[in-house]
Structure 1
Amino acid sequence: MAFFPKPAAGSWTENWPELGTAPVDYTDSIDPEHWKLEQQAIFRKTWLQMGRVELVPKKGRYVTRELPSVGPGVSIIIVNDGDQIRAFYNLCRHRGNKLVWNDYPGEEVSGSCRQFVCKYHAWRYDLKGDLTFVQQESEFFDLDKADYPLKPVRCEVWEGFIFVNFDDDAVSLQEYLGEFGEGLKGYPFHEMTEHYSYRSEIKANWKLFIDAFTEFYHAPILHMKQAEKEEAEKLAQFGFEALAYDIKGDHSMVSSWGGMSPPKDLNMVKPIERILHSGLFGPWDRPDIKGILPDELPPAINPGRHKTWGTDSFEFFPNWTLLFWAPGWYLTYNYWPTGVDSHIFEADLYFVPPKNLRERLSQELAAVTFKEYAFQDANTLEATQSQIGTRAVTEFPLCDQEILLRHLHMTAHQYVDRYQAERAAQSNGSGKPTAASSVKESANV
């Protein structure tokens, strides 16, 4: 699986000249009308990651997901019907009542059942979505239950991850994930079922948090207090440079050093980390499973096969980050926009189940250390949102290490531009976009 190395006397950006080098316009993160277009053009037309198959491990298990990113009030049911995992709109076909909920209809729920029963008039649906019972059916006029199943949502599974797509005409999940998806197959996700999760509302545009996680330019400054003094000063003086970047279609990745287990110099880490053999990079002691040693990793991970490799972060457009750590664990991020200046951030950490107390504590330390770093990243976002929202300045220069930010904003713009062109073509009835509505392919966004 090919990737582009950095030229000896050049830059990462030289490998993708279509991205340009001009300042990037951040109006896409402050304009309410642009956000509405993103909702229709992006979140209703791309594959969205919902969680792992372990959420619904056997027949009858279900979860609900609230998805305002897709549209106001959009809620879905994800269920294991015994043969496959399915998704449906969480809506009764009788009078539109929300079908699955507990005390508060806006909260996500999970459970196990043999059938879904509407709280309002007791219409019943089996796990495949078929309507099986109508209360006082004889009172209806020529009602055929076969005509009123739950409305399905496209649902596919990749390597144990559940995805949905609200566009019936979209390409398959495998085609959408492309080369990165193919190159990650075989990683032992199924072995890492010890799960920690965090969820928080962030008062900032969804793309701003992705921006924060796709560059390490900020790390020596923002996270200085988390490192030992000598190590922090060294990072601040010399900066941080990733090992590799790669872009394939809508998706991208960054590969970096770090994650040594144990560190070569124990003075680099804090006393609690020395005791528990753990920290931000995860537990130092690798789990005894196949598929995580350097020569066993799938080809997309550590594409340069660097000996000092520690972590890879894959950005699957629009809003899913899949991040691997060398010691043998991984985490995911999801960014669910709720408005132009707000989103829900979800982080999920996955480890091989611990075999003893020490392993358990080392995983817990990794989880809480991650949270502290994430808080620091999130803390800058609301300050950023407040200031770009003034529109005093709308264009900002990006350095070579911020190449994936440039790619994210360009990709999001392209989706919106295509959507607007398609709407214009439909409105003029020609089937082709007018000159005024043609897709804007701007290298500099």
Structure 2
Amino acid sequence: MARFPKPPEGSWTEHYPQLGTAPVSYEDSIDPEHYEVERKAVFKRAWLNVGRVERIPRKGSYFTKELKVANTSIIVVRTGSGEVKAYHNICRHRGNKLVWNDMPLAETSGVCRQFTCKYHAWRYDLDGNLAFVQQEGEFFDLDKSRYGLVGVHCDVWEGFIFVNFALAPEQTLRDFLGPMITNLEGYPFDRMTSRWHYQSEVKANWKLYMDAFQEFYHAPVLHANQSPTAYSKAAAEAGFEAPHYRIEGPHRLVSTSGIRAWEMADEMRKPIEDICQSGLFGPWDGPDLGEMPEGLNPAKCDPWGLDSFQLFPNFVILFWGQGWYLTYHYWPTSYNTHVFEGTVYFPQPRTPRERIAQELAAVSFKEYGLQDANTLEATQSMIESRVLDDFLLCDQEVLIRHLHQETAAWVEDYRSKTAEV
């Protein structure tokens, strides 16, 4: 794996002097009290992606999302006018969870004309209005217009549905995303409807898993078993550096060159990859997606491998040069646990071979994700020992510095504003 030159301004970390170069503390990943403030300062103020519009394709389509980090469950629905709206998943009568199936804490989806509470049959229309009260005459001075569902701020960008739990969001969604993200407009997300999804409960702080996907310093070592021994040893000794990092506002990007799998030496490929013409980098026969948006491949790599856009706080969109993309979500459940979600998106397969090629890519990527997750619980257990107070980061780990500093800045801003109140 070749090394790439640093930018003329110097190293990547020094290119962002506000980040510093000193060792970093992981106290923000092991302190329960910090986590409780982080929930309010970050996850109840930032725009959070909760899914895509393809999940609610027509009037009455809905899905629920359990968000323990915000201490709530929400309903996302397509209204009669075609608008996407979100509500807290709670009945105004006695507080029962409004939409659920057999297991109250399990997420669900479907299509309906209205939402009916399982407890006393109060009904709400798709716009959240209270439409029916069982034995309405038994209530005192009931004005149904005052008791609709509690709304959640909701907006859509390029088919991605975002919510914000602040009483009044400090920025519009578009302003929050900023140019680095909005320059991705025009990518054919709507054509990527062949979807695979998996999730896992991880016993580690959510930021630690995000850190794992913000650098490639680990790749030749942690993923060595995926390659022949001789190649893995050489790769680990040579190391690998991505040719482009970028930080803009609260968001981050790492972009890297690629490798055409079919051009690799025969001993570096698995037989199943040759049979299916697919693997970690995706199906070898990449689709013609047309002209790509200007925000992709900023380093102009040829061949281009991938761009990983890290949207603050917990959402990642990763584009592969082979013509597909995936998303990651990291949903905190406590200071040292979270739920990791990975979803891969391809164009609809046209033949059985294309379908198999997509499945192999999805399974391969899941295997790599499990390898990345495998170290996290070991990391969490030892940093909680507090044997060490801070940890060294190399130049390639510049985005890790930014995530932890950005989170700390949101916490400090929240503390300052609440102290003023």
TM-score in terms of structure 1 length: 0.91
SS of 2:121 mapped into structure 1: coil
Are 1:48 and 2:43 an aligned pair? no
Contact 2:206 2:338 (8 Å CA) reproduced? yes
Q: Which amino acid aligns with 1:93?
A: R
Give unmatched runs, 5+ long, in structure 1: 291-295, 427-445
Distance in 1, Cα, partners of 2:58 & 2:181: 25
The correspondence for 2:79, drawn from 81, 86, 105, is: 81
Are 1:396 and 2:394 an aligned pair? no
Contact 2:256 2:301 (8 Å CA) reproduced? no
Question: Deviation string for 1:317-347 (max 9, x for gaps)?
Answer: 0000100000100000000000010000000
Distance in 2, Cα, partners of 1:259 & 1:324: 14
**Residue correspondence of structure 1 range 335-414 to structure 2 within 5 A:** 335-414=330-409
**Residue correspondence of structure 1 range 153-302 to structure 2 within 5 A:** 153-170=152-169, 171-260=171-260, 262-290=262-290, 296-302=291-297
Per the TM alignment, residue 261 of structure 1 is displaced from its structure 2 partner at its CA by 5.1
Per the TM alignment, residue 233 of structure 1 is displaced from its structure 2 partner at its CA by 2.3
Contact 2:114 2:126 (8 Å CA) reproduced? yes
Contact 1:49 1:163 (8 Å CA) reproduced? yes
Per the TM alignment, residue 289 of structure 1 is displaced from its structure 2 partner at its CA by 3.5
Distance in 1, Cα, partners of 2:214 & 2:324: 19
Per the TM alignment, residue 18 of structure 1 is displaced from its structure 2 partner at its CA by 0.2
Distance in 1, Cα, partners of 2:187 & 2:58: 23
Q: Which residue number in structure 2 is paired with residue 32 of structure 1?
A: 32
**Which range moved further: 298-307 or 147-156?**
298-307
SS of 2:375 mapped into structure 1: helix
Distance in 1, Cα, partners of 2:247 & 2:288: 32
Contact 1:259 1:311 (8 Å CA) reproduced? no
Question: Deviation string for 1:299-334 (max 9, x for gaps)?
Answer: 111112121321000000000010000010000000
Q: Which residue number in structure 1 is paired with residue 417 of structure 2?
A: 422
Give unmatched runs, 5+ long, in structure 2: none
Contact 1:261 1:285 (8 Å CA) reproduced? no
Q: Which amino acid aligns with 1:129?
A: G
**Which range moved further: 296-305 or 110-119?**
296-305
Structure 1 stretches (4+) deviating beyond 6 angstroms?
none
Per the TM alignment, residue 70 of structure 1 is displaced from its structure 2 partner at its CA by 1.0
Contact 2:180 2:248 (8 Å CA) reproduced? yes
Q: Which residue number in structure 1 is paired with residue 109 of structure 2?
A: 110
Per the TM alignment, residue 228 of structure 1 is displaced from its structure 2 partner at its CA by 2.7
SS of 2:420 mapped into structure 1: helix
Q: Which amino acid aligns with 2:388?
A: V
Q: Which amino acid aligns with 2:318?
A: L
Question: Deviation string for 1:79-111 (max 9, x for gaps)?
Answer: 011321110000011111110011111110111
Contact 2:9 2:15 (8 Å CA) reproduced? no
Q: Which amino acid aligns with 2:18?
A: E
Per the TM alignment, residue 267 of structure 1 is displaced from its structure 2 partner at its CA by 3.5
Distance 1:15 1:188, change over 3 A: same
Per the TM alignment, residue 181 of structure 1 is displaced from its structure 2 partner at its CA by 2.1
CA-based RMSD of the aligned residues comes to 1.2
Contact 1:261 1:283 (8 Å CA) reproduced? no
Per the TM alignment, residue 297 of structure 1 is displaced from its structure 2 partner at its CA by 1.6
Identical pairs, percent? 56
Distance in 2, Cα, partners of 1:266 & 1:255: 27
Contact 1:310 1:326 (8 Å CA) reproduced? yes
Question: Deviation string for 1:242-264 (max 9, x for gaps)?
Answer: 01000000000000112525334
**Residue correspondence of structure 1 range 130-141 to structure 2 within 5 A:** 130-141=129-140
Distance in 1, Cα, partners of 2:7 & 2:255: 16
SS of 2:183 mapped into structure 1: helix
Q: Which residue number in structure 2 is paired with residue 91 of structure 1?
A: 90
Contact 2:246 2:254 (8 Å CA) reproduced? yes
Distance 1:48 1:69, change over 3 A: same
Distance in 2, Cα, partners of 1:269 & 1:47: 41
How many corresponding residue pairs?
A: 415
Per the TM alignment, residue 406 of structure 1 is displaced from its structure 2 partner at its CA by 0.2
Q: Which residue number in structure 2 is paired with residue 129 of structure 1?
A: 128
Q: Which amino acid aligns with 2:201?
A: E
Contact 1:324 1:330 (8 Å CA) reproduced? yes
TM-score in terms of structure 2 length: 0.96
Per the TM alignment, residue 7 of structure 1 is displaced from its structure 2 partner at its CA by 2.7
SS of 1:122 mapped into structure 2: coil
Per the TM alignment, residue 229 of structure 1 is displaced from its structure 2 partner at its CA by 2.8
Distance 1:358 1:164, change over 3 A: same
Q: Which amino acid aligns with 1:378?
A: A
Distance in 2, Cα, partners of 1:262 & 1:177: 36
Distance in 2, Cα, partners of 1:270 & 1:264: 11
Distance in 2, Cα, partners of 1:161 & 1:168: 21
Q: Which residue number in structure 1 is paired with residue 300 of structure 2?
A: 305
Q: Which residue number in structure 1 is paired with residue 328 of structure 2?
A: 333
Q: Which amino acid aligns with 1:12?
A: W
Per the TM alignment, residue 137 of structure 1 is displaced from its structure 2 partner at its CA by 1.1
